Structure 1
Amino acid sequence: MHFQSVTFDLDGTLLDTIADLAEGCRLMLEEVGAPPRSQAEVHSFVGKGMAVLVERCLTHAQPPTADQLHAAIESFKRHYAVINGRSAQIYPGVLEGLQAWQASGLKMGVVTNKPGMFTETLLDRMGMTDYFDVIVSGDTTAHKKPHPEPILHACRILGVRPDRNLHIGDSKNDIHAAHAAGCLAYAVPYGYNEGEPVDSADCDALVSDLLVAYQQALTFKDLKNK
């Protein structure tokens, strides 16, 4: 296979976590006395990390003040820590895909914008931690996706050149981060994409699930070395 490693986005790619995120936002908004948000709204707010999610929940006619945002973030942390993983679901094809990638001998990693205090706990609760050789969270590096640094950081730890890493995600944040890092990017059509569904023109392959992604990667040809 052309690839030596594969990195995955977490929320919206491996796991459907929207019910937990929406409940955390509901409890946070109730605590700080802000108007509620629907699950559909929260769905459209997910993608650039916890702070942006909270800020989007609070923003109506104008954005929250710094003090309001800080208080709301601390509230969300408390509530989400309790419910993180409670209603999360593994997307169809994910376990089969991870098992196929693992059997191939490729190194695997998670690169997510979710804060580290939630990432490993969630993977542990879902029984998925042992699949991965590296976990890069939203606060592991100075930047979050769509900046390339989180993916480059994962590649350094894995000891793999970026052009030999495949990144799989559910949004343009993942595609832009991967391409900026020098990786190929596959995208799944489900998940959380900030209201901008990914198109096949945006990525190197649009795949229905992770098992299909594995099968697609098997057929990838390294044209430079032919």
Structure 2
Amino acid sequence: MVVDSYDFWLFDLDGTLVDAEWSYTRDVFDRVGDRLGRRFSDREAEILWHGLGGARNAQLVEWGIAPEDFWPAFHAEEDPQTRAEATFLHDDAADLVGRLDAPVGLVTHCQAFLTGPVLQHLDIRDWFDTVVCCTEELGWKPDPAPVRHAMRDLGVEEGSTGVLAGDGANDIGAAWNAGLDGIHVERHGPEHRGQCVLGDYRVGTFHDLIN
């Protein structure tokens, strides 16, 4: 089975292991829109929240929104406890991680002030031997730097085989750039995403890796 094929596993968080209720996402983008003087449609909010179009900054620029204006407004409108309470765990993610007998790490674009409360609320912090939150200083996926940082934290030995599982093209890019395999879990469907994301494994649910 795939679960026995790797010496260590890395995961993305949002959209891969967990997701937020749509009502929370819609409310955040309503308030961000008020700050920026621009309304975000449901489709725009979904694209940015899930990274459906790939790199979010490139998408913002395409829509005429300066990333340096958007991100401070976005983070200012995210309340850690409210976000945590609106977040749910995917059942297939719990089934997969529970079967792993190997070091497990998290590499996420979700910022530390949000990641901690989410993991605590869902009682899954002990799933991970390391948690790496991307930053401007550390880098953003598909930059391999955050992945390599997680590998160092795990004490991965040279020659070890590893994999990163995520729901976006940036996750697979980060995996490949760091010399790992990439598992893409498609939570939305390529027709809704607007593109097909490649990967060493492409699944609709992590149950496909178990059964």
Task: State the match for 1:9 in structure 2.
Answer: 12
Task: State the match for 2:201 in structure 1.
Answer: 205
Instruction: Check 1:208–1:150 CA distance in 2 against 1; reply closer, same or farther (3 A cut).
Output: same
Instruction: Check 1:173–1:128 CA distance in 2 against 1; reply closer, same or farther (3 A cut).
Output: same
Q: Secondary structure at the match of 1:93?
A: helix
Moved more, 75-84 or 37-46: 75-84
Amino acid in structure 1 at the alignment position of 2:26: A
Gaps of 5+ in 1: 216-226
Q: Secondary structure at the match of 1:45?
A: helix
What TM-score, normalized to structure 2?
Answer: 0.80
Amino acid in structure 1 at the alignment position of 2:116: E
1:63 has 2:62 as partner: no
For residues 122-201 of structure 1, what are the structure 2 equivalents within 5 Å? 122-139=118-135, 142-160=138-156, 161=158, 164-190=161-187, 195-199=193-197
RMSD: 3.0
The whole-number CA distance in structure 2 between the counterparts of 1:12 and 1:197 is: 16
The whole-number CA distance in structure 1 between the counterparts of 2:43 and 2:159 is: 35
Q: For this pair of structures, how many residues does the alignment match?
A: 202
Task: State the match for 2:107 in structure 1.
Answer: 111
The whole-number CA distance in structure 1 between the counterparts of 2:13 and 2:112 is: 12
Instruction: Check 1:37–1:58 CA distance in 2 against 1; reply closer, same or farther (3 A cut).
Output: farther
Instruction: Check 1:78–1:86 CA distance in 2 against 1; reply closer, same or farther (3 A cut).
Output: same
For residues 127-156 of structure 1, what are the alpha-carbon distances to aligned partners after superposition, in whole Å with 9 as ceiling and x for unaligned? 111111000112285211010111111111
What TM-score, normalized to structure 1?
Answer: 0.76
Gaps of 5+ in 2: none
Q: Secondary structure at the match of 2:152?
A: helix
The whole-number CA distance in structure 1 between the counterparts of 2:9 and 2:45 is: 28
Instruction: Check 1:75–1:153 CA distance in 2 against 1; reply closer, same or farther (3 A cut).
Output: closer
The whole-number CA distance in structure 1 between the counterparts of 2:137 and 2:5 is: 27
